Amino acid sequence: MARRQTPSPAGDASPDFVENIVDIDVTSEMEGSFLEYAYSVIYSRALPDARDGLKPVQRRILYMMSEMGLRPDRGHVKSARVVGEVMGKLHPHGDTAIYDAMVRMAQDFSLRLPLIDGHGNFGSLDDGPAAPRYTEARLAAAALTLTDHLDEDVVDFVPNYDNQLTQPDVLPAAFPNLLVNGATGIAVGMATNMAPHNLVEVIAAARHLIEHPDATLADIMKFVPGPDLPTGGRIVGLDGIRDAYATGRGSFKTRAKVEVEQLSARRTGLVVTELPYMVGPEKVIEKIKDAVNGKKLTGISDIVDLTDRKHGLRLVIELKNGFNPNAVLQQLYRYSPMEDSFGINNVTLVDGQPQTLGLLPLLSVYVEHRINVVRRRTAFRLGKKKDRLHLVEGLLVAIVDIDEVIQIIRSSDEAAAARTRLMSIYDLSEIQANYILELRLRQLTKYSRIELEKEQDELRREIAELEAILGSSERLRALVSAELAEIAEKYGTPRRTVLLESEAVSPTVAAALAAAPGPKGKAAPLALEIADDPCWAILTASGQVARTANQDGLAESGPRTRHDVFTSVVKTSARGEIAAVTSQGRMLRLQVMDMPVLPPTSGTPNMAGGVPAKDFITLLKGESLVAFAPLDEVLAIGTAQGVVKRLQPDYPLNREDWEVIALKDKDTVVGVAPAGSDDVDLVFVTRQSQLLRFPASAVRPQGRTAGGMAGIKLAAGDQVMFFGAASPGDSAAVVVTIAGTDGALPGTAPGAAKVTALSEYPAKGRATAGVRAHRFLKGEDTLLLAWAGHGPAKASSLAGVARSLPGEHGRRDGSGIPLSQAVDAIGPSMSWEPATEAEAQAPAGV
């Protein structure tokens, strides 16, 4: 650096003026100025303190709000007022920075435990907050635990920017705020990004560390297995978390919480209820639409945001028919923010120096800070108690001779003389004498000797307790641990984020991956579109419609639940078509792909995943769905008035529904059965217990518009209640009938059940009346239920059960036995389940 003198410029007021120009090296000046700026940003703006987990602006906001009395039990005040107080007294920076920090501490999607109770629009993941003049704020209850006991000398206070006020160098922090709420900040040459955690887990780890100072990271991770994000979601893969806990640096993947739901009878969708941390629904929608328009994503028909305050986040992604939901979900994870990465960088200030800390050092720094806070608080309280005890002891000395004390004061010329006389006569200290002199005369009457002695004993007990805490490290640490436990119990909430060691795979996905191994034994990616695999289309007695994932799982010996009976089971494929026949003689073409898929199982499928038929098929008024049927087989149709028809499969290719039988007035279809072979028998059962069995060859196949021919001859007032088909050589085919009283409510009148082998009934000619199937007892006048064929629950065993039941029920013209007796004989594992919607009204267990 060089100095030179130049003459003063012309016209200068002082002729002796000397101008000094300092030559400075630009490189050195830039380095020095940049270093000062970097230090300022690191220490005064961007990085949090490891003790209370707060940046300077956050600490100043909470302290000033505490000083303003903005407690949770008081009203909100304008945010602009808080910003002004902080900026004018403590934080010499712009109001925008202060308000942004204030807003973040009020957002429940940013902090796991919000510190400010905001009133108004404090923003969302997609939108910013309203201006500070429109919002209001006060401290949250949890924030009080960060600022409690500041008046008890628990932390050091430092001057503010203009040395006119003081502010705390750090807050007492009754819970590990840095780990619970995390932190993010960008300084010069360094940055911090810390994930939020669960309060209960972190405090449990801190208490364990207090009790076991030599605990290892593995011990601590038993209590803190991973982050707990405010927005929930799923964390996939824990290796990066373990690295971060050990070294302070690592990363992990977060995924949205998604469920595959049946949005309607024909539409499947992905419902998103939780998103990755700091990812908003609008951003997800925008990225998905861009990916769909860019042909990166396929199979998505629409995306709807149904989020509201009552139900929370609900993002519905509707899928096109024929696409595998799990494969589409994998694409969404790849091309949208539904999967995001979080990089942990635990840079924080320790004793004023930026350091990168793992989980154990972070907890250790906090625990030492909290122990120091409690120690200083205890020492402060001990001093206060001792001071009060000193005054009480002086009062006890004076109150014994209060009249003399008053006389001494009255006879003294001035306060100094009275103080001196009191000190000399009663051996009081100057503090005690001043306290007695400052008391009003009326206050002396309150201080009875008994009350003062009681207070003296209480003070001595409290002083002994405080001295014991200060004199024992174990008691001090136990007190800190107990206070942490109270915080966890009061403010703790259950974990929101699910931790997965690896990617969770549903049974459907696992089966698909196992069936399609990739190269070198690795699992191949899921097929995006649903393959045309064989499956079963199912219609149940309660009107549920569904299809299986494959053609396994229809074993007759599998467990069943009540009313979970298959009335129609059609062998087809996932991309095939089947027919549905209604009670009014209509046939509808159905796409199997549109049916909801039941989860794969080795036994009987659980129909809980089905949808009601009325929601899947458009039915006319008074119309019901009777059966599913294949489109390429000859079908036999039976009606309530005894008409039978064999239908040729010559269906129109350009229509979705058509008539398959011309019904007479008030006639309805009661049953449909495959009858492509002339070797099967067709079976009618009427309400007056007439059963007619005849070969299918007796009915010639007809076209769609034909009205059929006479099937069974009905008596006056009688009608068909069951129509089906059975193989005449099937020894397991049975007839099940239940008799009762016409018009009685189910279960209110006695009834009888009967199971008989179908072979007991002789074949008769078509258009005859058949034979009696069930002899009515007293009080019985009609059949409530009838079924014939292979089944319905355990067909291979029902015939044997029929032969083992007591009485004449095994004979075709015999009567039944009481329902309760039949249930006891068959047993709960053999209980018969209804085969039609009407039969679902039968008494329980039958």
Residues annotated catalytic, as ranges: 134
Degrees (nearest 5) of the Cα angle 194, 219, 251? 30
Q: Is residue 731 within 8 Å of 676, Cβ to Cβ?
A: no
Residue type for 308, please? D
> In degrees to the nearest 10, what's the CA dihedral of 84, 86, 88, 92?
-120
Residue type for 37, please? Y
Beta bridge partners of 725: 682
Give the Cα separation of 361 and 367 in Å (integer).
Answer: 10
Structure token pair of residue 376: 């200083």
State whether residue 571 is helix, strand or coil.
Answer: strand
Degrees (nearest 5) of the Cα angle 94, 100, 105? 135
Q: Is residue 614 within 8 Å of 264, Cβ to Cβ?
A: no
Phi, psi of 602 (to 5 degrees): -85, -15
Crossing angle between the packed helical segments 325-335 and 507-515, to the nearest 10 degrees: 90
Give the Cα separation of 699 and 683 in Å (integer).
Answer: 13
CA neighbor of 167 nearest in space, from 76, 71, 73, 92: 92
Residue with tokens 């601590």: 220
* Separation in Å, CA 284 to CA 272, 306, 313: 11, 14, 12
Distance from the Cα of residue 677 to its chain's centroid: 54
Structure token pair of residue 494: 């259950």
CA neighbor of 539 nearest in space, from 566, 558, 559, 560: 566
* Separation in Å, CA 674 to CA 628, 631, 759: 10, 10, 20
Helices and strands in the chain: count of H runs, count of E runs: 22, 40
Q: Is residue 106 within 8 Å of 116, Cβ to Cβ?
A: yes
Phi, psi of 477 (to 5 degrees): -70, -35
* Separation in Å, CA 792 to CA 402, 562, 788: 105, 13, 8
Structure token pair of residue 266: 């024909």
Phi, psi of 212 (to 5 degrees): -130, 85
Give the Cα separation of 306 and 269 in Å (integer).
Answer: 13
CA neighbor of 840 nearest in space, from 540, 539, 542: 542
Give the Cα separation of 536 and 529 in Å (integer).
Answer: 19
Q: Is residue 731 within 8 Å of 759, Cβ to Cβ?
A: yes
Q: Is residue 683 within 8 Å of 691, Cβ to Cβ?
A: yes
Give the Cα separation of 181 and 110 in Å (integer).
Answer: 8
Give the Cα separation of 233 and 255 in Å (integer).
Answer: 6
Structure token pair of residue 828: 């709960």
Give the Cα separation of 663 and 684 in Å (integer).
Answer: 17
Give the Cα separation of 692 and 622 in Å (integer).
Answer: 28
Crossing angle between the packed helical segments 402-411 and 415-426, to the nearest 10 degrees: 140
Structure token pair of residue 821: 């007796």
H-assigned helices in 439-528? 441-444, 449-471, 473-491, 507-515
Give the Cα separation of 67 and 707 in Å (integer).
Answer: 92
The 10 Å Cβ neighbour count of residue 432 is 22
